[in-house]
């Protein structure tokens, strides 16, 4: 039977500033989802990249006295270098300045133009140079651009327009008849509410007199392509549209991860572009909220732009990935503070998981000289953690399949805390004093080891390195893929009885709250 397929993408990030916490979150979330799907037996493809054309980039390059080409090369490299450091396993990194991408943008424009959905017209309107787009009066706040806080300029221009309006009813119907197309539900509601207003046609060109850093329109070389039309196309150009094998294999399962700031281009322009070009539209859009830092929007002027390199350098990659996935409810905003990060590291990672691991291995060393104890079924049945482990896997699977990462981790940590309590109630140190209780002691320790094995397998998508360390400590040989598929975590009691386990290194040392950097 052919494997099920899943294609995940992140936004392609602008190269006008270096990567920060927000970019790291989306990319980690898509990475976690990809690793989870692999555990669930899917064949996956994971795409990220950089968006390199447009005014913003030209301005940023000018500030640094560099040519746009030099500048984009430098910043794109920062993103490409960051991802492996955050254990991101993307299959492809696309750049919109790559020739194969440019070719697909040209093809798509030609196709839509040939079908009569792009027309030339003159337009006068209020233009915000920061956003690179025209605004309607009603979209302004006190006459100013809501994002830039400056009054837009009235300009008159001839440009090419994409007839979006005629696809409005089709899109509304598609969203209503495909539950989960936009996830979570509150963003579906938001898109449907945008669509209650008549859709304006989209201006998809910029005259070269104003901007040259872009893709020339294939049907008029006095214009370059609007940066969003160019950028969205990356999702198919990266797969080798129109006839590449990856496109055929993965496009039907495409699901885009974005934050709420870019829901309109993804939820409205993109499906309509695809429809107008006669391409099947993507399968789904996952929209998450925003990270604030210490209660405020990240901004250079406040000085709270959080650098993932700095945080992971200090606290470790897996701790950072865990924190982001545990703390944010997918879809809602969340707050990043160093205090909360440290307290999660100390409580969830050092105390709950780290201590459990070292307690169990130390007891195994003390009572069984490190040998994994064998267990008779009669003894283990009454003491078995098996039903709870099974239930944990099920809860984890359901939550992760629904992109509720925090709930997936919550299920695992409930099981961890159940095991810590199990130790307290079973009191292995007491059993160890009674020679008749030896079979019971074996069963208790063996169940704990099997429980730890289950936890080690489940945390793989979020904490791949820690998962590997735990499994190595438990002497569980890893499959070649580096992880266990969900349906291979059971049977229970699959650890090699008799194998000898050593004293573990500390997994997560406690962070002394006084030693934070104070971001």
Q: How far is the CB of 337 from ligand MSP (least distance, A)?
A: 14
Tokens coding 364 = 């195994």
Tokens coding 234 = 């990356």
Q: Does 258 bind ligand MSP (CB under 6 A)?
A: yes
Contact 7, 44 (CB under 8 A): yes
Binding mask 267-296 for ligand MSP (x = CB under 6 A): -----------------------xx-----
My answer on whether omega of the bond before 145 falls inside 30° of 0, hence cis, is: no
Residue 286 phi/psi, 5-degree rounding, is -105, 120
Catalytic residue among 53, 145, 275, 288: 145
Alpha carbons 329 and 59: distance in angstroms, whole number: 35
Residue 122 phi/psi, 5-degree rounding, is -100, 145
CB proximity list for 359: less than 8 A, separation 6 or greater: 423
Catalytic residue flag (residue 500): no
Residue ranges of the alpha helices (H) in 369-463? 377-383, 386-401, 405-426, 428-431, 438-458
Alpha carbons 311 and 318: distance in angstroms, whole number: 11
Q: Does 262 bind ligand MSP (CB under 6 A)?
A: yes
Q: How far is the CB of 400 from ligand MSP (least distance, A)?
A: 20
Nearest to 214 by CA among 191, 235, 231: 231
Biggest alpha carbon–alpha carbon distance for the chain: 92
Catalytic residue flag (residue 183): no
Catalytic residue flag (residue 63): no
User: Taking contact as CB under 6 A, which single stretch among the options 19-27, 64-72, 359-367, 400-408 is the one that binds ligand MSP?
Assistant: 19-27
Beta bridge mates, 202:
162
Q: How far is the CB of 75 from ligand MSP (least distance, A)?
A: 10
Q: Does 261 bind ligand MSP (CB under 6 A)?
A: yes
Q: Does 25 bind ligand MSP (CB under 6 A)?
A: yes
User: Closer to ligand MSP at the Cβ: 47 or 356?
Assistant: 47
N-to-C CA span, the chain: 51
Catalytic residue flag (residue 457): no
Segment 26-55, which members bind ligand MSP (CB under 6 A)?
A: 26, 51
Q: How far is the CB of 355 from ligand MSP (least distance, A)?
A: 32
Catalytic residue among 4, 63, 148, 178: 148
Catalytic residue among 63, 176, 185, 297: 297
Alpha carbons 16 and 105: distance in angstroms, whole number: 22
Binding mask 210-249 for ligand MSP (x = CB under 6 A): ---------------------xx-x---------------
Write out the catalytic residue numbers.
20, 23, 128, 131, 145, 148, 297, 300
Q: Which residues bind ligand MSP (CB under 6 A)?
A: 11-14, 22-23, 25-26, 51, 231-232, 234, 258-259, 261-262, 290-291, 298
């Amino acid at each position: 039977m052919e494997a099920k397929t899943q294609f995940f993408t992140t936004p392609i990030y602008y190269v006008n500033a270096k990567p920060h916490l927000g970019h790291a979150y989306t990319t980690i979330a898509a990475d976690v989802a990809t690793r989870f799907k692999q555990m669930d037996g899917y064949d996956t493809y994971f795409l990220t990249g950089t968006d390199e054309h447009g005014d913003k980039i030209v301005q940023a390059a000018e500030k640094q006295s560099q040519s746009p080409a030099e500048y984009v090369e430098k910043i794109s490299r920062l993103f490409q270098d960051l991802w492996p450091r955050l254990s991101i396993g993307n299959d492809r990194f696309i750049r919109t300045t790559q020739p194969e991408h440019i070719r697909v943008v040209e093809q798509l424009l030609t196709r839509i133009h040939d079908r009569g959905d792009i027309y030339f017209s003159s337009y006068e309107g209020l233009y915000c140079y920061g956003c690179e787009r025209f605004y309607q009066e009603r979209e302004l706040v006190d006459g100013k651009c809501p994002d830039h806080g400056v009054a837009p300029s009235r300009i008159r221009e001839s440009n090419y327009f994409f007839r979006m309006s005629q696809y409005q009813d089709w899109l509304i119907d598609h969203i209503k008849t495909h539950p989960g197309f936009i996830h979570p539900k509150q963003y579906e509601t938001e898109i449907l509410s945008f669509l209650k207003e008549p859709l304006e046609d989209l201006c998809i060109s910029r005259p070269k007199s104003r901007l040259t850093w872009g893709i020339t329109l294939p049907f008029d070389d006095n214009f370059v392509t609007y940066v969003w039309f160019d950028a969205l196309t990356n999702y198919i150009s990266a797969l080798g549209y129109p006839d590449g094998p990856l496109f055929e294999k993965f496009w039907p399962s495409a699901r885009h991860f974005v934050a709420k700031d870019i829901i309109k281009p993804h939820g409205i322009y993109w499906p309509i572009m695809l429809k107008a070009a006669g391409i099947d539209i993507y399968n789904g859009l996952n929209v998450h909220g925003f990270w604030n830092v210490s209660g405020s929007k990240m901004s250079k002027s406040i000085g709270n732009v959080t650098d993932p390199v700095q945080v992971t350098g200090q606290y470790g990659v897996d701790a950072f990935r865990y924190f982001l996935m545990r703390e944010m409810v997918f879809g809602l905003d969340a707050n990043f503070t160093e205090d909360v990060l440290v307290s999660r590291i100390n409580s969830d990672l050092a105390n709950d998981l780290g201590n459990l691991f070292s307690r169990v291995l130390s007891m195994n060393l003390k009572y069984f000289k490190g040998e994994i104890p064998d267990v008779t079924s009669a003894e283990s049945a009454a003491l078995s953690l098996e039903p709870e482990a099974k239930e944990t896997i099920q809860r984890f699977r359901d939550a992760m399949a629904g992109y509720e990462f925090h709930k997936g981790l919550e299920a695992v940590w409930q099981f961890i805390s159940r095991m810590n309590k199990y130790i307290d109630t079973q009191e292995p140190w007491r059993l160890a004093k009674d020679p008749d209780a030896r079979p019971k002691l074996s069963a208790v320790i063996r169940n704990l080891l099997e429980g730890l094995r289950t936890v080690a397998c489940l945390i793989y998508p979020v904490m791949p390195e820690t998962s590997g360390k735990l499994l190595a400590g438990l002497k569980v040989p890893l499959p070649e893929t580096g992880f266990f598929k969900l349906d291979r975590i059971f049977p229970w009691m699959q650890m090699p009885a008799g194998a000898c386990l050593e004293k573990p290194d500390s997994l997560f040392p406690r962070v002394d709250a006084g030693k934070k950097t104070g971001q």
